[in-house]
Amino acid sequence: MPHAVSRLRAARLARSVKPFLARGGSRVERCAGCRVPVSHCLCALRPAVPTRAGVCLLMADIEPLKPSNTGWLIADVVADTFAFGWARTFVDPALLALLADPKWQPYVVFPGEFVAPERVVTDVVPVDGKRPLFVLLDATWPEARKMFRKSPYLDQLPVLSLQPEQLSRYRLRRSKHDDHLCTSEVASLCLELAGDQRAAQTLDAYLDVFTNHYLNAKHQRPIDLDDAAHQRLRALR
């Protein structure tokens, strides 16, 4: 059964009038399971880790079509990943049902500085009988701001704001030099807050392996299954 992001991608493709051309416009054949050119397919390396938390991706229109979208990787690792396309004038009733489902404790993940302070939380506090559900806006930053502002159904949810110390520790650990975190990195930080450590680490290691395959395919270089990225992912099995 294809995962939520894969299904959203298929639905989005079916709706498009012209074929979507990945950046670079190359005609190389991509694997349907991992979106990487078949020569560099990483489907055999896809990890799955049981988690207490779930992830709900609200995706800007074009995101499911991008072969580099990392929401896909979250859906690979976390079985309870839900994905919805975002539109200003329409909300999927299944999304509203999910947010209202008493088995979940939903949080919108967004920078607290843009939100009324009384809505902001910085920790994931376990609630009896509920599992944390992280609502992630999978979009560019300007799109994410618009989505946050124009989705009244998110207004009553607590806003989980990742803290500067947590972000800088994360950057240090991952030797990241830029400020931008991609969606799977944000998910990894959220999983860590929820106590799903192994899933958090696995998602990070898997992102590195994905990036490795993606870039090597782009530059037509072979894959080294024994390099540091692959070893790290293997060690987490």
Closest Cα partner for 67 from 93, 41, 99?
41
Region for 42 from its dihedrals, namely left if φ exceeds 0, alpha if ψ lies in -120 to 50, beta otherwise: alpha
Tell how far CA 139 is from the center of its chain.
10
Q: Nearest distance from residue 30's CB to Zn ion, in Å?
A: 8
**42 vs 136, beta carbon nearer Zn ion:** 42
The site map against Zn ion for 17-36 (x = CB under 5 A) is --------------x-xx--
Beta bridge partner(s), residue 54: 133
The owner of tokens 């992630």 is 136
CA dist., res. 168 & res. 35, Å (int): 31
**41 vs 162, beta carbon nearer Zn ion:** 41
Q: Nearest distance from residue 6's CB to Zn ion, in Å?
A: 11
Q: Nearest distance from residue 106's CB to Zn ion, in Å?
A: 31
Q: Is 180 in a helix, a strand, or coil? A: coil
Q: CB–CB of 121/161 below 8 Å?
A: yes
**5 vs 160, beta carbon nearer Zn ion:** 5
Total chain residues near Zn ion (CB under 5 A) = 5
**40 vs 181, beta carbon nearer Zn ion:** 40
Site stretch for Zn ion (CB under 5 A), options 39-47, 94-102, 106-114, 138-146: 39-47
Give the one residue of 43, 96, 121, 225 binding Zn ion; rule: CB under 5 A: 43
Q: Nearest distance from residue 14's CB to Zn ion, in Å?
A: 21
Site stretch for Zn ion (CB under 5 A), options 20-28, 42-50, 150-158, 186-194: 42-50
Using rule CB under 5 A, residue 41 touches Zn ion: yes
Using rule CB under 5 A, residue 233 touches Zn ion: no
Using rule CB under 5 A, residue 108 touches Zn ion: no
3-state SS string over 10-71?
HHHHHHCCCCCCCCCCCCCCECCCCCCEHHHCCHHHCCCCCCCCEEEEEECCCHHHCCCCCH
**31 vs 167, beta carbon nearer Zn ion:** 31
CA dist., res. 210 & res. 229, Å (int): 9
**75 vs 98, beta carbon nearer Zn ion:** 75
- Our CA angle for 193, 143, 182, nearest 5°, is 40
Q: Nearest distance from residue 46's CB to Zn ion, in Å?
A: 8
Using rule CB under 5 A, residue 46 touches Zn ion: no
Q: CB–CB of 61/139 below 8 Å?
A: no
**29 vs 178, beta carbon nearer Zn ion:** 29
Closest Cα partner for 67 from 8, 9, 144?
9
Would you tell me which residues interact with Zn ion (CB under 5 A)? 31, 33-34, 41, 43
